[in-house]
Structure 1
Amino acid sequence: MTLLTVAIPSYNASEYLHYCVESLALAGDQLEILIINDGSADKTQEIAESLQAKYPGIVRAIYQDNMGHGGAVNTGMREAKGTYFKVVDSDDWVDTRALLKILETLESFVEPVDAFITNFVYEKEGKSRKAVMRYDEILPEDRIFTWDEVGSFGKGQYMMMHSLIYRTQLLKDIALELPTHTFYVDNIFVFEPLKYVQTMYYLPVDFYRYLIGREEQSVNETVMISRIDQQIKVNKILIDSFDMDAIANERCRDYLLNHVEITTIISSALLNRAGQAEHIAKKKELWEYLKTHNPELYKKVRRGMLGQIINLYGYPGRKVSNAAYRIARRIYGFN
C-alpha cells in the first residue's frame, strides 16, 4: 500500500513544476505523486507526462478542465491511494531529507494518526533570511498526542496547509469538498478536518518550502485586495462552520477560534488597506454577517485586541489599524 499521496495542483506551472516534483520523487515508491493539471494553457501537461514517464508508478499526470485550486485538491483527495494525504503547490517544493524522515516515521506507526504536523519555511524572493513557522513550544515532539496535550497558540502561530498531512480516510469520511473557482480555500482544508482530528504527531523538521514574494502570487497584498470577494467568501464559510458548542475539546475549540479570528482580521485589514467606500462597506457587511450568523463567535473576535484595533472609527481609525496591521505582518508573519 502507498504510504503518502502528494497532490500537486498545477495551473500554468511549467516554470516551477519540474523542480517541485523532483524534490518529492527522490523519496521513492512509498510515495504517490498526483500532478493535477487544472486546465493549463502552457506546457504543464507536457511536463507532467514527461515526469510520469520518468517516474513510472510514482508520478501520475491527471488533466481536468479548470476548477481552481479547490477543485484540483478535490480531485487529489478523490484519486488518492495513500494512507496519508498532502498538498504541495506547484511553485513550492520540499526538503527531500525531511521527507525521508517523515516517511520513516509514518511507517513506524502501528495505527495511523489523524494529522501529522511539520514546520514550514517562508522562502521569500530576494530575502536571504528564511522565516520558519515552528510549533516546538506548543506541540509535544516525536510522539503521538491528543488535543488535551496541545499548548496555547499565539496570534501569529497557526497551522497552514503547508504544515499538515492528514489521514486520507479521515478526509473521505468527513466528505471534505472545497469550493471550486475560489482562491484561499487552503483555510478550509486546514479548518474543517481539525474538528475531527483525535490523534496527532509533530515532527520538528523544516519540510515544506513556501515561496512568497512574487507580484502575481495569490497571497500578494495587491492581488488579495483584487480578489477580496473570494477571501470574504472563505471567511464566511469558516464563520458558518464554527459551532463553539459542538466542539467538545477546549484546546481544539481555542485553536479553531484563533484561526477564524486571524482570517477575519486579515480580511478586515485588507479592506481597510484598500480604503475605498465599497471596501469599507464590505468590511461592515462582513462584521454584520459575523454578528448575525454566529453571535457567540462575534463577541469573542470583536472583544479581542485585534478586533478592537481593526474596527477603530473613521479615517484616523483606519490609519491606526493599518499601522497595526503592518506591525502584525512583521511580528506574526501575515503574508
Structure 2
Amino acid sequence: MKILTIVIPCYNSAAYMDRAVESLLIGSDEIEILIIDDGSSDNTSVIADEYEKNYPNIVRAIHKENGGHGDVINTGLKHANGIYFKVLDSDDWFNKESLQKVLDTLKAMINNSTSLDMLITNYVYENVSIGKSKSINYKGAMPENKIFTWNDLGFLRYSQNILMHSVIYRTEVLKECNLVLPKHTFYVDNIFVYMPLPYVKTMYYMNLDLYRYFIGRSDQSVNEKIMIQRIDQQIKVTKLMIDCYNPIHIECKKLRKYMIKYLVMMMTVSTVLLLKDNTEQSMSKKKELWQYLSSKDQQLFDEVDKSLLGSLVQFKGYLGRKLILFCYSLSRKIFGFN
C-alpha cells in the first residue's frame, strides 16, 4: 500500500531536480514518487529514468507531451496509487525529518481508520534574490496535532492562506471534486488548492517546516516581471476560481469567509500587476476583470469589494495607484514573496 503519492512536475529541470527527488528518499517504500517529464528538451527524461531504475519500488518516471504544470498534475492524479497526494515542484525540496513525521502521522491515521481529508504543514520561503528565508506557519489559526473541522478554524491572516505548498490532500477528495486543471497555464496551483476546499470535512495541522519553496530566480513564473508578461494567465486562473465558488456547496460560514478572502487575494494580485504595467490595455483588463466578478455573482462582488484589500484596489486616480503599489511593495518586503 502506498500512503503518499508525491508528484514532481519536470520541464527542463535537469540542473536542479536531483535536490527535489533526493529530499524524498527517506528509505520508505510507502511513498510513491512520480517524476513526470513534461516534454523536456534537456536531460530531464534520462535523469528520471535513472531514478526509476535505481528505486523501482518507489520512483516511476512518466513521459508525456508538453502540457504545462496543470496537465502534469492531472497526469499524476490519474497514475496515483497513494491514499494521499502531494505536489513538489522540481526546484523545491522537502525537509526529510519533517517528511518522515508526516508519513508516520498519515500511516497512524490510516491504521486507526481515522477520516482525514487534508493535512497542513508549514512551508518556507527560500528567497535567493534578497537572501531571506521565512517560515509560514498556521499557529493560532489552526488547532495543532488533532483532527478539526472548518468550524474550529481561527482567524487566518493573509500571510496564512492555505497554499499548494502547505497541503496534502486525500487523493479521493481531488477526484470527488472532479479536479482537472487547464493545460499550458501558469498559476494553476491556486485552483488546485482552492477547488477541493468545500469537499474537505476533516483537517490536521502539524506545526513543522516541510516544504522549502525556492523563489527569486529570474526565470521563475512568480518573478514579478514575468507575472506581468503572463497577466492573461493570472486573470484566467482568477476567473476559473470565481467560477469554482458556489455558496450552495459551502456549508460552513468560516469556510465561505476564507474562500472569499482567497478570491480577494487573487483579485488584488491581478489588479496590482495590471496597475504596475499601467498601459491602456491593462486598465481595460482591470475593468473587465471586476465586471466579470460582478456579472458572475453580485453578492460575491460586494463581499470582495467591501474587504480592506478590495476597497484599496478600487481606489481611483494617481494617488490611489501610488497607495496600492506602496502597500504591495511593503507586503512583499514583509512576507518575502515574488
**TM-score of Structure 1 vs Structure 2, range by shorter chain:** over 0.9
Correspondence list, 1:178-193, <5 A: 178-193=181-196
CA-CA distance at 1:330 after TM superposition: 2.9
CA-CA distance at 1:184 after TM superposition: 0.4
Is the contact made by 1:25 and 1:33 (CA closer than 8 Å) also made in structure 2? no
Equivalent residue for 2:43? 43
Equivalent residue for 2:271? 268
Residues of 2 paired with 1:154 and 1:146: CA distance? 18
Residues of 1 paired with 2:194 and 2:290: CA distance? 20
Is the contact made by 1:155 and 1:332 (CA closer than 8 Å) also made in structure 2? no
Name structure 2 gaps, 5 residues minimum: none
Is the contact made by 1:157 and 1:332 (CA closer than 8 Å) also made in structure 2? no
Return the TM-score normalized by structure 2: 0.96
CA-CA distance at 1:333 after TM superposition: 5.0
Is the contact made by 1:20 and 1:92 (CA closer than 8 Å) also made in structure 2? yes
**Residue 259 (structure 2) aligned to one of 250, 256, 259:** 256
Name the amino acid aligned to 1:89: D
CA-CA distance at 1:255 after TM superposition: 1.1
Equivalent residue for 1:71? 71
Using the TM superposition, name which of 141-150 and 121-130 deviates more.
Answer: 121-130
Using the TM superposition, name which of 241-250 and 12-21 deviates more.
Answer: 241-250
Equivalent residue for 2:149? 146
Return the TM-score normalized by structure 1: 0.97
Residues of 1 paired with 2:131 and 2:337: CA distance? 19
1:299 to 2:286 alignment: no
1:131 to 2:102 alignment: no
1:321 to 2:330 alignment: no
Is the contact made by 1:156 and 1:333 (CA closer than 8 Å) also made in structure 2? no
Equivalent residue for 1:9? 9
Structure 1 residues 190 and 220, CA, compared in 2 at 3 Å: closer, same or farther? same
Residues of 2 paired with 1:257 and 1:126: CA distance? 32
CA-CA distance at 1:127 after TM superposition: 4.4
Name the amino acid aligned to 2:259: L
CA-CA distance at 1:129 after TM superposition: 3.7
Is the contact made by 2:242 and 2:263 (CA closer than 8 Å) also made in structure 1? yes
Structure 1 residues 332 and 304, CA, compared in 2 at 3 Å: closer, same or farther? farther
Equivalent residue for 1:57? 57
1:24 partner SS: coil
* % identical aligned pairs: 46
CA-CA distance at 1:326 after TM superposition: 1.0
Superposed CA deviations along residues 75-131 of structure 1, whole A, max 9, x for unmatched, are 001100001000000010000000000011111112241000000000111444411
CA-CA distance at 1:280 after TM superposition: 0.8
Is the contact made by 1:116 and 1:166 (CA closer than 8 Å) also made in structure 2? yes
Is the contact made by 1:156 and 1:331 (CA closer than 8 Å) also made in structure 2? no
Is the contact made by 1:8 and 1:35 (CA closer than 8 Å) also made in structure 2? yes
CA-CA distance at 1:315 after TM superposition: 2.7
Is the contact made by 2:69 and 2:183 (CA closer than 8 Å) also made in structure 1? yes
1:210 to 2:206 alignment: no
Equivalent residue for 1:224? 227
Superposed CA deviations along residues 61-83 of structure 1, whole A, max 9, x for unmatched, are 00000000000000001100001
CA RMSD of aligned residues (A): 1.2
Name structure 1 gaps, 5 residues minimum: none
